[in-house]
Chains A and B, each alone.
Chain A
Amino acid sequence: KAGVTQTPRYLIKTRGQQVTLSCSPISGHRSVSWYQQTPGQGLQFLFEYFSETQRNKGNFPGRFSGRQFSNSRSEMNVSTLELGDSALYLCASSFNGEGTEAFFGQGTRLTVV
């Protein structure tokens, strides 16, 4: 069974640009969540999608957005990048997001210069 796939693995962007990250969940999983990991703040929840609906959103500015497609694949977008957006962005998939275990992808390392 294929795991969670995130693309790309690495990205370097310039301040002010925008970026789109992609996540393909495990087959049959309908919940996809996104987390930002930084040395200072640790793992912080961005948002969660289930059947194309956002059910929860973390405390991030509106520059961070996401969506989920009918095949459960998800994308997150960050507009007007800031240096502080440099982080490892992790996607997690689970069957329903309600207490079953979540499986993570390898992450996308975003560097903003």
Chain B
Amino acid sequence: GNSVTQMEGPVTLSEEAFLTINCTYTATGYPSLFWYVQYPGEGLQLLLKATKADDKGSNKGFEATYRKETTSFHLEKGSVQVSDSAVYFCALISGGSNYKLTFGKGTLLTVNP
């Protein structure tokens, strides 16, 4: 079956530091990959996506590249802000008759001023 493994953290950084959250996956077929972010007391917000190998998703300074050879989709940001403090989830959905997102366990990011 499908699975997603991401570094669980927590991760604590100072403002303007570089961020990397690792994500690797196992899936049948050719999955679409996503990063979601969850702020306290809220639902999940789609941060970025990539639907095929070598695609780069980007949004709000965050980037992730779909690497089929290493089955990875690592999240990066060059300079984090206090407002980026949240829980980040890597997820995939594979083709066929699955119709469900498979999530990693989430990574809590805290950015200090």
Main secondary structure of the interface of A (DSSP, over half): strand
Among A14-22, A62-70, A75-83, A95-103, the stretch in contact with B: A95-103
Asked whether A58 lies within 8 Å of B100 as measured between CB atoms, the reply is yes
- Tell me which residues from 58 to 110 in chain B have a Cβ below 8 Å from any Cβ of chain A: 89, 93-95, 97-106
Contacts of A33 in B (CB 8 A): 99-101
Contacts of A4 in B (CB 8 A): 43
Instruction: Write the B36-56 contact mask toward A (1 if CB under 8 angstroms, else 0).
Output: 100000111110010100000
Q: Which of B43, B49, B94, B105 contacts A104 (CB 8 A)?
A: B43
Q: Which of B31, B36, B106 contacts A42 (CB 8 A)?
A: B106
User: Which of the four size classes fits the interface of chain B?
Assistant: 20 to 34
B46 to chain A: closest residue by CB:
A101
Known A101-B46, A101-B49, A107-B43; contact A92-B99, beta-carbon cutoff 8 A: no
Instruction: Write the A27-71 contact mask toward B (1 if CB under 8 angstroms, else 0).
Output: 000010101000000110100101000011010000000000000
Contacts of B25 in A (CB 8 A): none
Asked whether A104 lies within 8 Å of B45 as measured between CB atoms, the reply is yes
Contacts of B51 in A (CB 8 A): 99
Asked whether A45 lies within 8 Å of B101 as measured between CB atoms, the reply is yes
How distant is B101 from chain A, measured CB to nearest CB, in Å?
Answer: 6
Contacts of B46 in A (CB 8 A): 101-104
In the complex, whether A25 has a CB less than 8 A from a CB of chain B is no
Q: Given A31-B99, A48-B100, A97-B99, 5 more contacts at CB 8 Å?
A: A56-B99, A90-B43, A98-B95, A100-B32, A101-B34
Q: Provide 21 A-B residue pairs closer than 8 Å at the C-beta atoms, listed in order of the A residue.
A: A4-B43, A33-B101, A42-B104, A42-B106, A45-B100, A45-B102, A55-B97, A56-B97, A56-B98, A90-B44, A92-B44, A92-B101, A99-B32, A99-B94, A100-B32, A101-B46, A101-B49, A102-B34, A102-B93, A102-B101, A104-B44
